[in-house]
A and B are shown apart, each in its own frame.
Chain A
């Protein structure tokens, strides 16, 4: 044990610290350059692929890794906590597995962060100088926090055995601290990029009037929340894919059982946080509209309108994939046959929701198309394209996914309490009412002004959330002393289920790239919207196909990196065994 850790420490520690140095250096250089301002060259070019792609690639890769290392510790600590309270060693093992992944990905994040800063400083000196001039002090805070976080991570990871038993509480405390540092770190970085989209705290010429104003700009909080949730989703999905990979390569039943379970937990985390993402997304969208109509219109109806169709396809894949995984998972649970007949109905709802969600709203068709349709609305499909229909569809899909989960939950349990009948009836009524409320407002939305309609989405969301809470409140006591029809046979799941997990992880990563493109693309030819114009030869925001190719390339590189890093991380393990 000790030997194995020693080897790992040399490996990762040896990489992380120098990187930190590079990173600090980079930040310092930027700061120094930002101070005089004015005279610096505006742009330098990058060979072969050009500056824009260079910065794009570095940013997307860095964000992929950062999302992963911020998301995973959040649920790792919860898993560890469960293990501590239940004294079930499996959970502790799982939390440690998760943290191991974080640990090996950590230095890659730092490296890429340093690279990104470097790319900015060398290729976009004037822009970076401006940003450093506004945010200089926060960049120091960032660098400092990074150091503190690294330190906490080391303590947390290597202190696992030392801080076990009666000292477990301290260990958990460290884990919480780790998450706090990580969250603040992300909030700081978010201030920079949201400022680019919705600058505030500066006067019309772009001179700083209030640093706090610049930090707390209109889209800061929505992005913070959106990313916080999305990171958890992303971390869960990647961890699940890792488990799937290990499952597929496992040699023993014991290993298969372990990784099957790990994949299940990772996916559970991903899906349950995914349910909240659309709401955070709407909030963000609303803030963007409120900040600047033009920005909002560019985003939803302008040259980016098709992007949301592509997003819809991916969201559809995610929902259908996660439901499919749950259904496949039921096969390893004795007693689940009772619920099989529900599945076709669930498929139908999901498919219908998917179609509505994928129907575009107003789109910038080519002019010819627009002329042929007599407007940018399709005469028939236009009806399904509006927000009312979309909200309704997504809420019903969320509800359906919840039903899948519920069925999964009770697959091997038979409730024994005396009030089962009324309990179940109540649950169905609650879900029926929620579905009715969602549909009612969806239809009613067609008859009211848009300003009123926006309010409706809140009722829809609340009814779904309330239904989930109420149904669970009945479900938990109802199945507390349930009779079991047999234990879950972990590891006995069809291998294609593991490919579903990989599909989900790939789709999440790709979707993340797409959303990143949307976020920075709506600024169009501005570095800082309305303040600092992009005057480089590459100021035009590319079309979706081009962006998709780039996203695919970067995602492929990211996944290859992950495989490499996890493989490196696993070397120690193999050495210890052999």
Chain B
């Protein structure tokens, strides 16, 4: 008996797709996770859940990935692969756990060689992690080549207090009396920042780092200081030193300066609208 052509071709097509589907099912299956404000205080969580939550924060709310990569040198910050183990060797006499917590709450206390102190305190705005989230993040970092032994009580009670007190990460935002519109003009004109930086829709120069999300990852204090004393704030890894003009403090008027900073503080990338998720607490 002859098999009808349509059956042959149909079987063939299904077999081809079956192979593709089989392959796609045989590799690790990862779902996207929904970002939630995390509250683990008082609850029973296993270390696995904690690590998983921490990973979510690392990739999501923490915006750590804008600077850090795991298994790869980022342009802005050190590789965090194996941090669970290396953390123990950073400061003599300090445990890995204590070091990791310190590097989140007070990043400048110890600077990794070759990197300037640009990392913001992650329990303060703009990142603004709460205690639970810090706990999970530390667990996640420890899980990379270390043992997860962090307890909620290891996180200082004062951590994240600013955010909690203000009710929301945005509430703590510094209000500057500057005019962002005028600041943009300075950015493109007198300040000549645009010659080296991209900022959202304007500029495209690759000479300096992209500032499109600077307000999301940096504090106003840092931005203000960086303009006045670029070298004093350290040079970002991966960029040449002494490129930023050191004389901005003299050439810009006070108003131009405040306007410029106000403008930079509007640069939150597009994902800024995610912030409301943090205000649920």
Determine which residue in B30, B69, B273 has the highest number of CB atoms from chain A within 10 A of its CB, and name it: B30
Kindly state the separation between the CA atoms of A559 and B12 in the bound complex, as whole angstroms: 12
Given contacts A382-B71, A549-B25, 15 further A-B contacts (CB under 8 A): A245-B9, A292-B270, A292-B271, A294-B271, A303-B31, A313-B20, A370-B71, A370-B81, A506-B16, A543-B29, A544-B25, A545-B26, A545-B29, A548-B24, A556-B13
Distance in angstroms from B229 CB to nearest chain A CB is: 25
Report if A516 contacts B (CB, 8 A).
Answer: no
Establish whether residues B5 and A245, one from each chain, have CB atoms under 8 Å apart when the complex forms: yes
Find chain A residues with CB under 8 A from B33 CB.
303, 540
| Of A249, A306, A510, the contact of B17 (CB 8 Å cutoff) | A510
| Of A293, A363, A510, the contact of B20 (CB 8 Å cutoff) | A510
Find chain A residues with CB under 8 A from B14 CB.
556
Find chain A residues with CB under 8 A from B43 CB.
none
> Provided the pairs A248-B5, A531-B273 are in contact, do residues A376 and B30 lie with their beta carbons within 8 angstroms?
no
Find chain A residues with CB under 8 A from B65 CB.
294, 297
Establish whether residues A540 and B31, one from each chain, have CB atoms under 8 Å apart when the complex forms: yes
Report if A15 contacts B (CB, 8 A).
Answer: no
Kindly state the separation between the CA atoms of A54 and B84 in the bound complex, as whole angstroms: 45
Determine which residue in B12, B63, B71 has the highest number of CB atoms from chain A within 10 A of its CB, and name it: B71
Establish whether residues B271 and A530, one from each chain, have CB atoms under 8 Å apart when the complex forms: yes
Establish whether residues A204 and B272, one from each chain, have CB atoms under 8 Å apart when the complex forms: yes
| Of B12, B20, B69, B71, the contact of A310 (CB 8 Å cutoff) | B20
Establish whether residues B21 and A530, one from each chain, have CB atoms under 8 Å apart when the complex forms: no
Establish whether residues B20 and A548, one from each chain, have CB atoms under 8 Å apart when the complex forms: yes
Distance in angstroms from A452 CB to nearest chain B CB is: 8
Kindly state the separation between the CA atoms of A524 and B34 in the bound complex, as whole angstroms: 8
> Provided the pairs A292-B270, A303-B32 are in contact, do residues A502 and B12 lie with their beta carbons within 8 angstroms?
yes
- Leading 7 A-B pairs by shortest Cβ distance: A375-B71, A548-B24, A375-B81, A545-B25, A543-B29, A541-B32, A530-B273
Report if B274 contacts A (CB, 8 A).
Answer: yes
Q: Is the interface of A mostly helix, strand, loop or mixed?
A: helix
Report if A37 contacts B (CB, 8 A).
Answer: no
Distance in angstroms from B82 CB to nearest chain A CB is: 6
Establish whether residues A375 and B70, one from each chain, have CB atoms under 8 Å apart when the complex forms: yes
Distance in angstroms from A300 CB to nearest chain B CB is: 12
Find chain B residues with CB under 8 A from A524 CB.
32
Closest to B65 in A: A297
Establish whether residues B75 and A449, one from each chain, have CB atoms under 8 Å apart when the complex forms: yes
Report if B251 contacts A (CB, 8 A).
Answer: no
Interface string of A257-287 (1 = CB under 8 A from B): 0000000000000000000000000000000
Establish whether residues B59 and A302, one from each chain, have CB atoms under 8 Å apart when the complex forms: yes
> Provided the pairs A552-B17, A559-B13 are in contact, do residues A530 and B31 lie with their beta carbons within 8 angstroms?
no
Number of B residues with CB within 8 Å of any CB on chain A: 53
A-B contact pairs, 14 of them (CB 8 A): A294-B66, A298-B32, A303-B31, A370-B144, A371-B143, A375-B72, A499-B9, A503-B16, A510-B16, A530-B271, A530-B272, A545-B24, A552-B21, A563-B10
Distance in angstroms from A446 CB to nearest chain B CB is: 13
Closest to B213 in A: A293
Interface string of A542-555 (1 = CB under 8 A from B): 11111111011001
Interface string of B22-42 (1 = CB under 8 A from A): 011111111111110000000
Kindly state the separation between the CA atoms of A551 and B18 in the bound complex, as whole angstroms: 11
Distance in angstroms from B224 CB to nearest chain A CB is: 24
Distance in angstroms from B213 CB to nearest chain A CB is: 7
Establish whether residues B24 and A547, one from each chain, have CB atoms under 8 Å apart when the complex forms: yes
Kindly state the separation between the CA atoms of A559 and B32 in the bound complex, as whole angstroms: 30
Determine which residue in A248, A292, A306, A375 has the highest number of CB atoms from chain B within 10 A of its CB, and name it: A375
Report if B51 contacts A (CB, 8 A).
Answer: yes
Residue numbers of A with Cβ under 8 A of B are 198-199, 204, 245, 248-249, 291-295, 297-298, 302-303, 306, 309-310, 313-314, 362-367, 369-371, 373-377, 382, 449-451, 499, 502-503, 506-507, 510, 521, 524-525, 529-531, 539-549, 551-552, 555-556, 559, 563
Closest to B55 in A: A367
Report if B92 contacts A (CB, 8 A).
Answer: no
Report if B232 contacts A (CB, 8 A).
Answer: no
Find chain B residues with CB under 8 A from A314 CB.
20
> Provided the pairs A297-B65, A371-B143, A530-B272 are in contact, do residues A303 and B30 lie with their beta carbons within 8 angstroms?
yes
Establish whether residues A293 and B34, one from each chain, have CB atoms under 8 Å apart when the complex forms: no
| Of B5, B18, B31, the contact of A552 (CB 8 Å cutoff) | B18
Residue numbers of B with Cβ under 8 A of A are 5-6, 9-10, 12-14, 16-18, 20-21, 23-35, 51-52, 55, 59, 63, 65-66, 69-72, 75, 79, 81-82, 143-145, 206, 212-213, 238, 269-274
| Of A199, A369, A548, the contact of B25 (CB 8 Å cutoff) | A548
Find chain B residues with CB under 8 A from A292 CB.
269-271
Kindly state the separation between the CA atoms of A289 and B22 in the bound complex, as whole angstroms: 31
Closest to A529 in B: B270
Kindly state the separation between the CA atoms of A451 and B28 in the bound complex, as whole angstroms: 30
Distance in angstroms from A180 CB to nearest chain B CB is: 31
Establish whether residues B30 and A525, one from each chain, have CB atoms under 8 Å apart when the complex forms: no
Kindly state the separation between the CA atoms of A568 and B75 in the bound complex, as whole angstroms: 59
Establish whether residues A530 and B270, one from each chain, have CB atoms under 8 Å apart when the complex forms: yes
Kindly state the separation between the CA atoms of A356 and B23 in the bound complex, as whole angstroms: 18
Closest to A249 in B: B5
Closest to B206 in A: A451
Distance in angstroms from B12 CB to nearest chain A CB is: 6
Establish whether residues A371 and B144, one from each chain, have CB atoms under 8 Å apart when the complex forms: yes
Find chain B residues with CB under 8 A from A545 CB.
21, 24-27, 29
Find chain B residues with CB under 8 A from A362 CB.
69-72
> Provided the pairs A362-B71, A507-B16, A559-B13 are in contact, do residues A204 and B28 lie with their beta carbons within 8 angstroms?
no
Kindly state the separation between the CA atoms of A297 and B63 in the bound complex, as whole angstroms: 11
Kindly state the separation between the CA atoms of A97 and B37 in the bound complex, as whole angstroms: 59
Find chain A residues with CB under 8 A from B69 CB.
362
Kindly state the separation between the CA atoms of A499 and B12 in the bound complex, as whole angstroms: 8
| Of A451, A541, A548, A559, the contact of B21 (CB 8 Å cutoff) | A548
Kindly state the separation between the CA atoms of A531 and B272 in the bound complex, as whole angstroms: 9
Find chain B residues with CB under 8 A from A510 CB.
16-17, 20
Establish whether residues B5 and A364, one from each chain, have CB atoms under 8 Å apart when the complex forms: no
Closest to B140 in A: A367
| Of B70, B72, B270, the contact of A370 (CB 8 Å cutoff) | B70
Find chain A residues with CB under 8 A from B16 CB.
503, 506-507, 510
Find chain B residues with CB under 8 A from A248 CB.
5, 9
Distance in angstroms from A449 CB to nearest chain B CB is: 6
Kindly state the separation between the CA atoms of A301 and B36 in the bound complex, as whole angstroms: 21
Find chain B residues with CB under 8 A from A366 CB.
28
Find chain A residues with CB under 8 A from B206 CB.
451
| Of B9, B12, B18, B71, the contact of A376 (CB 8 Å cutoff) | B71
Establish whether residues A375 and B79, one from each chain, have CB atoms under 8 Å apart when the complex forms: yes
Kindly state the separation between the CA atoms of A302 and B59 in the bound complex, as whole angstroms: 8
Find chain A residues with CB under 8 A from B271 CB.
292, 294-295, 529-530
Establish whether residues B17 and A293, one from each chain, have CB atoms under 8 Å apart when the complex forms: no
Find chain A residues with CB under 8 A from B18 CB.
552
Distance in angstroms from B237 CB to nearest chain A CB is: 11
Closest to A449 in B: B238
Kindly state the separation between the CA atoms of A198 and B52 in the bound complex, as whole angstroms: 28
Establish whether residues B270 and A291, one from each chain, have CB atoms under 8 Å apart when the complex forms: yes
Distance in angstroms from B52 CB to nearest chain A CB is: 8
Closest to A365 in B: B28
> Provided the pairs A375-B71, A502-B9, A525-B34 are in contact, do residues A309 and B17 lie with their beta carbons within 8 angstroms?
no
Kindly state the separation between the CA atoms of A547 and B274 in the bound complex, as whole angstroms: 26
Kindly state the separation between the CA atoms of A53 and B33 in the bound complex, as whole angstroms: 19
Kindly state the separation between the CA atoms of A530 and B69 in the bound complex, as whole angstroms: 23
Find chain B residues with CB under 8 A from A198 CB.
270
